């Protein structure tokens, strides 16, 4: 009697696993670019860089930079990447871009004393060796 219940349990478990795999999964799409010119314009609340900020501007040389928009009210970023592959991410509300070995100019309204808005205005034009964009 116990063997019959065990076999029924195994069959039900296998059927359950087969049904579960039919449901779609929500995964982030990540794209990689190398040695590219990056232009970022928009509004987001999270900009991270180890550069020294002066009135919202910083010049960076061989640094890491992160821009993240979490689809909060008004956060929209436009990203243009020109490398061996061209990437355009226009009017994205939920996006993350991580750049390594970056040289260029950044502006973040969060770091500026004069241009306080919510979400903060951001602008970047830089050359990066490694670029990861996650949507």
Sign of CA dihedral 61, 123, 77, 74: positive
Length of the chain: 135
Per DSSP, what are the bridge partners of residue 88?
Answer: 80
pLDDT for res 100: 92
pTM of structure: 0.75
Note down pLDDT in tens along the chain; length 135 residues.
677 778 888 888 888 777 777 766 556 688 999 999 999 998 888 887 776 777 777 888 888 888 888 878 888 899 999 998 888 998 888 889 999 999 999 888 776 666 666 778 889 999 999 999 998
> Among candidates 8, 24, 27, which has minimal Cα distance to 16?
8
Residue that is written with structure tokens 């990861």 in the block? 132
List the domain boundaries for the chain.
28-134
Cβ atoms 131, 33 nearer than 8 A: yes
User: Which pLDDT does position 13 carry in this prediction?
Assistant: 81
Write out the two tokens for 83. 């490398």
Residues 46, 47, 48, 50: is their CA dihedral positive or negative?
Answer: negative
CB 121 within 8 A of CB 109: yes
**What's the pLDDT score for residue 23?**
67
């Amino acid at each position: 009697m116990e063997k019959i219940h065990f076999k029924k349990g195994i069959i039900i478990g296998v059927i359950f696993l087969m049904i579960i795999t039919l449901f779609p999964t929500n995964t982030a799409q990540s794209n990689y670019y190398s040695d590219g010119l990056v232009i970022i314009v928009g509004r987001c609340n999270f900009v991270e860089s180890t550069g020294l900020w002066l009135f919202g501007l910083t010049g960076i040389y061989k640094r890491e930079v992160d821009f993240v928009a979490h689809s909060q009210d008004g956060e929209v970023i436009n990203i243009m990447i020109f490398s061996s592959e061209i990437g355009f991410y226009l009017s994205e509300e939920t996006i993350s871009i991580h750049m390594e070995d970056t040289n260029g100019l950044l502006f973040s309204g969060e770091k500026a004393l004069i241009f306080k808005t919510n979400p903060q205005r951001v602008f970047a034009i830089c050359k990066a060796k490694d670029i990861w964009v996650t949507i």
